[in-house]
A and B are shown apart, each in its own frame.
Chain A
């Protein structure tokens, strides 16, 4: 399947390096993971264990701004959407001085639903390969 072309990279390097938070205590942990106390956030969704930091970064770089969400308190896109390997993710601006997005699995409740339907059929390798968006 042909996927939409990769969107152009933002001109502002700072924008390109927005923080992605898939809050570490919510990832599936292994025996070698540094010790953590139980997170005290009660959440509706948690990222699957295969969402590595590299993949998080790529998901955000490749993400589509939600056309209905507008801008955050600092003029940046409030919500960004992407999908891969049967999962849909939303990145929601945390409204901090520097660009940062809380990223978590979500149902595709956005006008971008049709594009996400296509994207969720990609494999992780296809997304990380970078040439097919």
Chain B
């Protein structure tokens, strides 16, 4: 995990540039994540004489940024649902999360964007400084998940004519932050600005107004009820006491799956709980799969590498070599994992649960086709091997699932179904790979692409 560093150096504003609270909150602002300086730029102004030097900090009023943090403190720390697909499974689980580029193009490039209004409001609440500050900062989108907050960084749209040229990558980068660390960094940032402004005649009224909002926001953010509402949505929060609490020991199982599906309505929640009803164990040895999971820790720098590595190990431990897997469901059954089809209304492609030592994988009836079902089963199996723990645990695979866990499980499935060792032999024959190894043509193309580029 990395930390978001926010460095503020207060400065006197240039004449006639700052108004109201902008005057006492004029500063040089540097944003860092780990060792990466997000605000590193070169000024791009027609009046800059030859050879402008790169700088790490941007300069201007930060009162607008402070207001944005106060307005959106709770959503950026807890609101997990994204009104669009989080990952693009057809492109190797690359992030599909929209930033300022997508927003400036009316989100036309966003897959499964659905309700435009909802997407626009979500974007404003999760993109640092959006619509409250003109200060030059990159597109920084916060996406909370169960135990951490993802930060997705990209350059903002050049079409808006910024006065800086960014030094960050033109491809989006992704960083994972500890929620408590992020809360602390943002709190220090807000408190520092309020203290500075309240000591200045131009900022006092603004500081008093914003402080009362800030105190209320902090109170709400610390509320379990509010956190639950932001994590799981209005309907689930409203029905929590009536439908989730009575599940008792199964509660953590359902919560896990809820963390991997889109925001639900009342009927969808009930349908999901019904789909996750306990099923009989597959075989007498319902814990055989655990040996595959526990044969030494997987050490890799990135989630997809972890997925590849575990799949290679599973193939090795089961003596499978590079042979195609004829039936994924039989493989699971032999490892003590039950599988079944369920009607979850398309909320996920597959889910996996662990309950009283019995593991099961379920595929939603919306998954059509043999190859799609094989991938859904293999991905859920990957989640089970990597993440299952405790007496009752659940997770799901779909467009709204947790990012790193899905990438890892998706890579596991890809390597399990079509090992890299054999993919190289099909470099110019994706159709042959698809037919021989029971994966889709698109998946075969992507597998070949990855094998060549790695």
**Which A positions have Cβ atoms within 8 angstroms of B?**
21, 23, 25-26, 29, 36-46, 48, 66, 68-69, 72-74, 79, 90, 92, 94-96, 100, 102, 104-111, 113-114, 117
Interfacial chain B residues near A39, Cβ < 8 Å: 14, 17, 45, 163
**Are B135 and A40 in contact, with the CB atoms below 8 A?**
no
Q: What would 7 A/B residue contacts be, using CB atoms closer than 8 Å?
A: A44-B137, A48-B161, A73-B206, A100-B20, A102-B19, A105-B160, A107-B160
Interfacial chain B residues near A108, Cβ < 8 Å: 103, 106, 120
**Are B206 and A79 in contact, with the CB atoms below 8 A?**
no
**Least Cβ distance of A101 to chain B in Å?**
10
Closest to B210 in A: A73
**Are B120 and A42 in contact, with the CB atoms below 8 A?**
no
8 Å CB contact of A106 from B58, B131, B137, B205: B131
8 Å CB contact of A117 from B43, B106, B210: B106
Tell me the residues in window 82-132 of chain B with beta carbons closer than 8 Å to chain A beta carbons: 100, 103-104, 106, 116-117, 120-121, 123-124, 127, 130-132
Interfacial chain B residues near A72, Cβ < 8 Å: 209
| A interface: dominant SS | loop
Q: Does B60 contact A (CB under 8 A)?
A: yes
**Are A73 and B205 in contact, with the CB atoms below 8 A?**
yes
**Least Cβ distance of B165 to chain A in Å?**
11
Q: Does B134 contact A (CB under 8 A)?
A: yes
Closest to A107 in B: B103
Alpha-carbon distance between A45 and B58 when the two chains are bound, in angstroms:
14
Q: Does B403 contact A (CB under 8 A)?
A: no
Alpha-carbon distance between A95 and B61 when the two chains are bound, in angstroms:
13
Alpha-carbon distance between A68 and B136 when the two chains are bound, in angstroms:
23
**Are A43 and B124 in contact, with the CB atoms below 8 A?**
no
Interfacial chain B residues near A79, Cβ < 8 Å: 131-132
**Are A42 and B63 in contact, with the CB atoms below 8 A?**
no
Q: Does B157 contact A (CB under 8 A)?
A: yes
Q: Does B162 contact A (CB under 8 A)?
A: yes
**Are B17 and A37 in contact, with the CB atoms below 8 A?**
no
Interfacial chain A residues near B48, Cβ < 8 Å: 38
8 Å CB contact of B135 from A26, A44, A66, A100: A44
With A109-B131, A110-B124 known as contacts, the answer to whether A73 contacts B209 (CB < 8 A) is: yes
**Least Cβ distance of A46 to chain B in Å?**
4
Alpha-carbon distance between A106 and B206 when the two chains are bound, in angstroms:
23
**Which B positions have Cβ atoms within 8 angstroms of A?**
14, 17, 19-22, 41, 43, 45-48, 58-61, 63-64, 100, 103-104, 106, 116-117, 120-121, 123-124, 127, 130-137, 156-157, 160-164, 205-206, 208-210
Q: A68-B121, A95-B63 are in contact. List 4 more A-B contacts (CB 8 A).
A: A39-B163, A95-B205, A100-B20, A110-B121
With A42-B41, A46-B161 known as contacts, the answer to whether A95 contacts B20 (CB < 8 A) is: yes
**Least Cβ distance of A52 to chain B in Å?**
17
8 Å CB contact of A107 from B19, B58, B104, B134: B104
Alpha-carbon distance between A86 and B338 when the two chains are bound, in angstroms:
56
- Residue from A36, A72, A105, A109 whose CB has the most chain B CB atoms within 10 Å: A109
**Least Cβ distance of A24 to chain B in Å?**
9
Alpha-carbon distance between A133 and B267 when the two chains are bound, in angstroms:
41
**Least Cβ distance of B185 to chain A in Å?**
21
Interfacial chain A residues near B43, Cβ < 8 Å: 38, 42
Interfacial chain A residues near B157, Cβ < 8 Å: 107
Interfacial chain A residues near B136, Cβ < 8 Å: 42-44
8 Å CB contact of A113 from B21, B41, B116, B127: B116
**Least Cβ distance of A79 to chain B in Å?**
6
**Least Cβ distance of A17 to chain B in Å?**
16
**Least Cβ distance of B196 to chain A in Å?**
15
8 Å CB contact of B60 from A38, A42, A46: A42
Alpha-carbon distance between A114 and B106 when the two chains are bound, in angstroms:
10
Interfacial chain A residues near B46, Cβ < 8 Å: 29
**Are B162 and A46 in contact, with the CB atoms below 8 A?**
yes
**Are B120 and A43 in contact, with the CB atoms below 8 A?**
no
Alpha-carbon distance between A68 and B162 when the two chains are bound, in angstroms:
26
Alpha-carbon distance between A104 and B61 when the two chains are bound, in angstroms:
15
8 Å CB contact of A109 from B120, B134, B164, B205: B120
8 Å CB contact of B163 from A21, A37, A42, A90: A42
With A107-B103, A110-B120, A111-B120 known as contacts, the answer to whether A43 contacts B135 (CB < 8 A) is: yes
Interfacial chain B residues near A43, Cβ < 8 Å: 60, 134-136, 162-164
Interfacial chain A residues near B120, Cβ < 8 Å: 108-111, 113
Closest to A74 in B: B205
- Residue from A36, A39, A74 whose CB has the most chain B CB atoms within 10 Å: A39
**Are B134 and A38 in contact, with the CB atoms below 8 A?**
no
Interfacial chain B residues near A90, Cβ < 8 Å: 131
Alpha-carbon distance between A45 and B127 when the two chains are bound, in angstroms:
16
8 Å CB contact of B103 from A21, A38, A109, A114: A109
**Are A41 and B132 in contact, with the CB atoms below 8 A?**
no
Alpha-carbon distance between A64 and B194 when the two chains are bound, in angstroms:
29
Closest to A29 in B: B46
**Are A107 and B163 in contact, with the CB atoms below 8 A?**
no
